[in-house]
Structure 1
Amino acid sequence: MTEPAEADVAAPSRDGTRLRLLPTSILFVLANAPRAYWRGADRFSDALFNTLIALRWKRNTRTFARNLGYMPNFSAPRSFSEKMQWRKLFDRNCLFPLLCDKLAVRDYVRARAPDLVFPKIYWSGGNPEAVPFDDLQPPFVIKPSNRSGKIILVREKSGLDRKAIVRAARKWRRSRSHGRRLGEWAYSRVPNRILVEEFLSTKGALVSPADFKIFVFHGTAEFVYFSQGRHSDGGRLRGLYTRDWQQIPVDKWRRKGLVTLQGGVPRPGRLADLIAAAEAIAADLDHLRVDLYLLGDKIYFSETTIYHYSGIATYFSKNANTDPAPPRSVDDELGAFWTLPSLSRREQWKRGLLGFLSSGE
């Protein structure tokens, strides 16, 4: 999830001449940091720390504030979205790159949830021109191993545009590390490969199966985001539920605005098995989103996600005022499930300063 490069803005000097060029994201942080971090701050060090981090990760900070309506507290995060920023900036868990690798993660998952079924991998490699299109039978999907949200669905042979697919795959490989602008460092450690994978669909129709995104905190699944019909031409059904399948009356707020979660989904027959598999996969982490498909009576593995929407999408109570952004009460409630790794104030400052002094964003 990245933003386009920002234009520079001239900061005028007192005599009206151009002093220097400043990115709009820096001006945004400088304008908002005093009110967000310094007014009523209990500790000078916390206010200074938050300001420095906001300046270092200026685009990330600005995107967060514009989406969610408040400046993130990096030194003492409370909401789910704030804690996701903390994870991106400070948590260097050695498992994260593996969990972001759509190919390598399969062995990790098999060892922990051996009863899961995996979509077939028809081909993988680094050269898009080597994809054996003549030997592939649609439907199938083409996607990169180290990116999120990029997928090409080939429904039938007549719709197969080889040149367009190769161009897209080349672009995936040429582009900078996925998530770099928003601090998702783990993707930069994943080998850049192209995957051709089986497209799972209901029998007789090219409709994606029921997709369960299970949020696990400290080994316990707390809630489930349900989605169905993502790649279909018809309507899409979505909802947020507790682990006991009680609908949580919220909608979702993303960068593009409101996403209505209709709910009304019958309790799945293998809900207990879905939750057990997700908890087994996520047992060694403080938080992990485990995505599983239910097709017939079989549970398929989809992917693991350590940066849910990069922490810039949140849930909020239905009928809440969403102008210009949703209230953070539900975001705080979800954040209460997640206890971050313990870092001393000295270690947090050390990591923050090292990040501040490093190059690029």
Structure 2
Amino acid sequence: MNFFERKYYQLLVKYLKNKPNADEAYIKANYYLKNNRRLNLDNPVDLSEKIQWLKLYQYDESYKKYIDKYEVRKHIKETIGEAYLNELLGVYEDVEEIDIDALPNKFVLKGTHGSGYNIIVEDKATLDWPKAKAQLKKFLSQNYYDKYKEIIYRGIKPRIIAEKFLDQLNDDAILDYKFLCFHGEPKFIHVKALEDGIRKEVDYDINWNKLEIPEERSNYLKRSLDKPDNFEDMIEIAKVLSKDFIFVRVDLYSIEGQIYFGELTFLHKGGMKRVISEPHNKIMGDLIKLPNKK
């Protein structure tokens, strides 16, 4: 893609973003801009193409009970049990409802209606609360649907929840295990971990074999990670939580032997980013059997 073509698509994406009934056109233009390749929705092949197909033609607003970070707690209680939920400290519809003095020294504030709406507080004494309040108000004002046109987010009620801060001993940061599940079967694990002070990512297959990549990438975790002692239990939980879905990512944490539920994500990376090993875009895509359009 040359300079002029990129500028054209940047303007096209900006134009289509807020245009009514233009979701498909917006997604096609944005996909080309980000990946320098056309999106094939008539005969999708790889993982990102099939995620875009699911985004447009399968996963609708009825899925919000699984992705709303407050409402999903009920689903988790009914499927795997309350013991896998992080402690809830509060739920708020307005930022002014948050009593910062009543919260512990460490906690996390999350927007329930999207991804990335987080404020992590490791020491309340150093928190700039007015600045944090302004950020939370900004979160509440946003509709995450507008970012990637993911219809499943469109009808979620914006709220803020406060949760217990999860410490992970003897490590730089908590490890985030993201199980990629296809028709109820976990096949790959996308892991995020800290290396050299930078959050990086790596992928493993279900037998905990690291997926090697042919080229150097700055965001690729070079060090090897030990398989969690309770890995088999995590697999079983991922199976239970994914059994009713074509494709879903089940995010879990393992801290001192205790498994915690993170979230359910139906559109891994919004379908806009290739997975870290290019051949696996096709391998993972082959695992998804698409139904007829709704």
Normalised-by-shorter TM-score class: 0.7 to 0.9
In structure 2, relative to structure 1, the CA distance for the partners of 1:240 and 1:263 (3 Å cut) is: farther
Tell me the residue number matched to 2:191.
Answer: 226
Return the offset for 1:186. Answer: 1.2
Matched to 1:290, the amino acid is V
Of 74, 78, 82 in structure 2, the residue corresponding to residue 111 of structure 1 is 78
Query: How do residues 55-74 of structure 1 correspond to structure 2 at under 5 angstroms?
Result: 57-74=24-41
Return the offset for 1:60. Answer: 2.4
Tell me the residue number matched to 2:213.
Answer: 250
Tell me the residue number matched to 1:82.
Answer: 49
Q: Following the alignment from structure 2 to structure 1, what is the Cα–Cα distance between the partners of residues 87 and 111?
A: 15
Of 161, 167, 172 in structure 2, the residue corresponding to residue 195 of structure 1 is 161
In structure 2, relative to structure 1, the CA distance for the partners of 1:191 and 1:271 (3 Å cut) is: same
**Which structure 1 residue ranges, 5 or more long, are not aligned?**
1-7, 10-21, 30-53, 318-327, 348-361
SS at match of 1:73: coil
The structure whose Rg is larger is: 1
Tell me the residue number matched to 1:24.
Answer: 11
SS at match of 1:202: coil
Q: Following the alignment from structure 2 to structure 1, what is the Cα–Cα distance between the partners of residues 185 and 193?
A: 24
Return the offset for 1:26. Answer: 7.0
TM-score, normalising length from structure 1? 0.71
Of 207, 230, 239 in structure 1, the residue corresponding to residue 202 of structure 2 is 239
Query: How do residues 120-269 of structure 1 correspond to structure 2 at under 5 angstroms?
Result: 120-175=87-142, 177-203=143-169, 207-229=172-194, 234-236=197-199, 238-250=201-213, 259-269=219-229
Tell me the residue number matched to 2:271.
Answer: 311
Query: How do residues 289-328 of structure 1 correspond to structure 2 at under 5 angstroms?
Result: 289-317=249-277
Matched to 2:84, the amino acid is V
In structure 2, relative to structure 1, the CA distance for the partners of 1:111 and 1:250 (3 Å cut) is: farther
Verify: 1:331 aligned to 2:281, yes or no: yes
Q: Following the alignment from structure 1 to structure 2, what is the Cα–Cα distance between the partners of residues 236 and 135?
A: 31
Matched to 2:207, the amino acid is D
SS at match of 2:84: coil
RMSD: 3.0
Q: Following the alignment from structure 1 to structure 2, what is the Cα–Cα distance between the partners of residues 174 and 94?
A: 19
What does the per-residue CA deviation read over 1:302-355, in whole Å, with 9 as the maximum and x for residues that have no partner?
1111111110111254xxxxxxxxxx5331111111111223xxx6xxxxxxxx
What does the per-residue CA deviation read over 1:46-69, in whole Å, with 9 as the maximum and x for residues that have no partner?
xxxxxxxx9753432222113222
What does the per-residue CA deviation read over 1:155-178, in whole Å, with 9 as the maximum and x for residues that have no partner?
212212221121111111222x10
Tell me the residue number matched to 1:357.
Answer: none
In structure 2, relative to structure 1, the CA distance for the partners of 1:94 and 1:182 (3 Å cut) is: closer
**57-66 vs 186-195, greater mean Cα deviation:** 57-66
Q: Following the alignment from structure 1 to structure 2, what is the Cα–Cα distance between the partners of residues 198 and 82?
A: 37
Return the offset for 1:151. Answer: 0.8
Q: Following the alignment from structure 1 to structure 2, what is the Cα–Cα distance between the partners of residues 93 and 163?
A: 36
How many residue pairs end up in the alignment?
A: 284
**154-163 vs 266-275, greater mean Cα deviation:** 154-163
Matched to 1:185, the amino acid is I
| 8 Å CA contact retained: 1:250, 1:315 | no
Moved over 6 A (4+): 26-29
Identity %: 24
